[in-house]
Chains A and B, each alone.
Chain A
């Protein structure tokens, strides 16, 4: 009961943050809305019993990535964005609800096919006789046993991206 109540509160905050992110004119307000979205997503992970994923969401996204966003906005001193005034009124009135309904249907079909809608809110979830996600042991086992090769390949990819960024940043010398 409490889980369901918390789910609706934080889901509402999450959606409101996402809408605010698009509606705000100043980049720093948008970035702060994105932090709210990340934080409420972390709470939703927590409600699913995935406390490790929730903590990582907070540390990596709300903590590290968004600090970099805010840092860049501050450094570039980005101002209020300019808006074009000739948007279609029909697109806003009909298009936005239509898009939401369409995405909702797609999400429902996908989650139904993948069997994700059987996951209950709250507590560790049992699928195929084992706890699927959430605690550090489960995540570690998945990363370093079952998906070791993709994990290592991804880290090399990220390393290459970092080196590429360094090379691009130093090009003028």
Chain B
């Protein structure tokens, strides 16, 4: 199915795309058909800077299981950072 289900957030940081590093301003998270991954549906994340055009994008497509593992790893890593840094 085409879910169109999308979460949009503002982000601060950098990403490395086809043309090298660029500043990020937005991220979209959605669960839908992948472009490349071998699965019917994947959790897709686009790190974006729309001001630089549609190609300013770092994309990942993860199985639901992988996406949950990633989310947990991010939380674990941030929680274990030295106090005051994260």
Answer yes or no: do A and B interact.
no
